[in-house]
Amino acid sequence: MFLLVQPSGGKLWRFKYRIDGKEKKLGLGTYPEVSLAAARAARDDARKQLAAGADPSFEKKRAKVRAQASAANKFGDIAREYVEKRTKEGWAEATVAKAEWLFEHFGGNLSRYPVTEIEPADVLAVLRGVEAKGNLETARRLLQFASRVFRHAVATARLGSDPTRDLKGALTAPQPKHHAAIVQPARVGELLRAIEGYEGNYITKYALELAPHVFVRPGELRQATWSEFDFGEAVWTIPAGRMKMRKSHTVPLSRQSVALLKGLREIRGDRPGYVFRSMRTSSRPISENTLNAALRRLGFARLETGAD
């Protein structure tokens, strides 16, 4: 390590080292802004990086890029990006409006912070404030929205993990409202509102969300495979072998259905096989009991969106 004195009089700390047979220099700061002790500490850190096989100059540049990216990836910006993405994928106007309302309600507190700096305690503090006003359902929906935004940040390589993943049990659960079993298409909206609040396994939730859009039997839904879907034509062709009448059946897919399926594929990866795979093994779909148990938690008798 040495102090470089420039013709202008400026003094710069430099650390000279060799890596891959080449001599390189690492800037450690300007004297006297960076003291001798601080420069030595930076030099020691560089030596540790060299010992680990890393290039200190490269690591310094990477840290700078990460810091810049972190500052640019604020929660508010990513939340808007997420809503815009889902809007393009077919979200209904009402759903978009609700998402924007949730963002305004929640984002004002955390929108200016980089997602990499937001801790679970930060999110929980916001939610506790909402709960304190007696708005338990709003707090639950805000948590869901925040989680979706964080998962979008994870999916786009701007965040390591969703900081809200362990917060669901921390909120006070609203009293469940009991509903009769859904047997008429006219009551689909009621079912959708209940499913939106489901806080269990995300694969189960996707299956529940898709069911009212396709009106098929639970077994046909559970055993759906990716190869049966044609997103270009927006159709789902169920093979004869899985139909009660042993005739293939073509189900038209709404924009919302396509968006749901693409959203699930984005999370689970573009892998063949069952759409709603069991969490225990990829060789089996989720069970019918899984769907019905989820509906019972929501106050419904059983999945009855298709004809018997």
Cα angle, residue 292 at apex, residues 166 and 145 outer, rounded to 5°: 35
> What pLDDT, on the 0 to 100 scale, is given for residue 69?
60
The CATH topology of domain 185-298 is hpI Integrase; Chain A (1.10.443)
Give 94 or 158, the one with higher predicted confidence. Answer: 158
Separation between Cα atoms, residue 154 and residue 213, nearest integer Å = 28
Sheet with 22-31, strands from edge to edge, namely 2-5, 11-19, 22-31
Give 232 or 183, the one with higher predicted confidence. Answer: 232
Please identify which residue in the block is written with the tokens 């540049």: 61
Separation between Cα atoms, residue 293 and residue 287, nearest integer Å = 10
For residue 272, give the amino acid letter.
Answer: P
DSSP state of 134: T
Where in the chain is CATH 3.30.160.390? 2-71
Segment 6-30 shows an average pLDDT of 88
Minimum mean pLDDT among 63-72, 190-199, 277-286: which range? Answer: 63-72
CA distances from 293 to 47, 206, 208, 276, 288 (A): 58, 15, 11, 16, 9
CA distances from 86 to 13, 151, 256 (A): 50, 13, 10
Tokens of residue 285, six digits: 């779909």
75-170: CATH number: 1.10.150.130
> What pLDDT, on the 0 to 100 scale, is given for residue 227?
93
The CATH topology of domain 2-71 is Double Stranded RNA Binding Domain (3.30.160)
Q: What is the largest CA-CA distance in the chain?
A: 90
Where in the chain is CATH 1.10.150.130? 75-170
Predicted TM-score (pTM) above 0.75: no
> What pLDDT, on the 0 to 100 scale, is given for residue 257?
93
Segment 214-224 shows an average pLDDT of 87
Separation between Cα atoms, residue 168 and residue 171, nearest integer Å = 6
